Amino acid sequence: MSKMAVEHGAINLSQGFPDFPVSEALIELIHQNLLAGHNQYAPMPGVPALQQVIATAVHRSYQRPTDPEKEVTVTAGGTEALFATIAALVHPGDEVIVFDPAYDSYGPSIRLNGGVPVHIDLNMPKFWIDWDEVRARICDRTRMIIINTPHNPTGTVLQQRDLRELEDIVARHNIIILSDEVYEWLIFDSMEHQSVLRYPALAENAVAVFSFGKTFHATGWKVGYVVAAENLTREIRKTHQFITFSVNTPVQLALAEYMRNPENYIHLGQFYQQKRDFFLDQIRGSSFEPLPSHGTYFQLMSYRNVSMRPDVEMATWMTKAHKLASIPVSVFYNNKSDHRILRFCFAKSQQTLSKAGEILRKL
């Protein structure tokens, strides 16, 4: 869709990347580290200074004591973290439960490593997990459950009761939880991020994945990290070592310095909630129906009052004819379920969002 947006000169609210600048202070820190000669390989698990800052942040945010050397691994973005974890822990024939609509790397990563994705649809219209169905789908081959909160593409946020359900399942079946938490700071409406790291019994059997690209508006840097118990981390590093080996040194050192001040990231929820609210205000009066978004920088909208077109056709038509690109949500389903819903990214400037709103109000 981004390629199509470029080809047709459309406003791009499809792919999830900001169109506003990264912090000048953070860019200057990278520049200083480049000039200081920090341009060679970093240690495979990550620069120690960054590992330490991450461990401190995890302890402060989720009250989980974390060993920076043994439990924190810096990766080439969240997607590499997900893949390295699956490659390390999923074996041929293992089943992995995935909730649809799902981020599109989960299924291919599982299949590529010989695993079998077991798809369970989130319940419409609020996209909640039916834990009784999850229990019914667990068998002797179930190796892992992948959760994602805040959730891409829906913007839903798991609640404490969901994590308690997961805690019970892990206690009964000893299943590994892969928790995609790359939007941990992008959460709205006074909600609290329920990381698996908050729950000691879960944390021992879980791998939590995070992304600096999402936190600091720098998706092109491709820097993320994994927090997991030592026994799981040891295995993940065996695959990480041969996927990327290490992540670029000057950015790691800059992030270590920048993260020492929590004020640089703890208010991101307020920042993005203002953008969400501005975007919703811009579409007021249109025939599009927004679905609740409590996290990420994505807004789902139903177009059932606008058109009967399938969502892929609708997204293509809007991009070509009306110069506004979005993502059809059916592509996030294994069974290609089409509920006539499109995903829009609101990590954009007010000018961009205002222009998009003008287009949507006319449809």
pLDDT at 16 over 90: no
Exposed e or buried b for every residue in 45-82, given b needs 16+ CB within 10 A?
A: bbbebbbbbbbebbeebbebebebebbbbbbbbbbbbb
pLDDT at 72 over 90: yes
Domains defined for the chain, CATH in brackets: 2-16+266-362 (3.90.1150.10), 24-264 (3.40.640.10)
Amino acid at 286: S
Mean pLDDT of 318-329: 97
pLDDT at 316 over 90: yes
- For the chain, helix (H) and strand (E) counts, in that order, are 15, 13
pLDDT at 339 over 90: yes
Give me the chain's average pLDDT, please: 96
Element (H, E) at 97: strand 95-100
Q: Give per-residue pLDDT as tens, 156-212.
A: 999 999 999 999 999 999 999 999 999 999 999 999 999 999 999 999 999 999 999
Nearest alpha-carbon partner for 182 in 119, 131, 245, 224? 224
Three-class DSSP labels, 207-231:
EEEEEHHHHCCCHHHCCEEEEECHH
pLDDT at 17 over 90: no
pLDDT band at 275 (very low <50, low <70, confident <90, very high): very high
pLDDT band at 93 (very low <50, low <70, confident <90, very high): very high
Residues constituting the chain:
363
What is the predicted pLDDT for the residue at 20?
87
Local structure of residue 297 (DSSP, 8 states): T
Predicted structure pTM score: 0.96
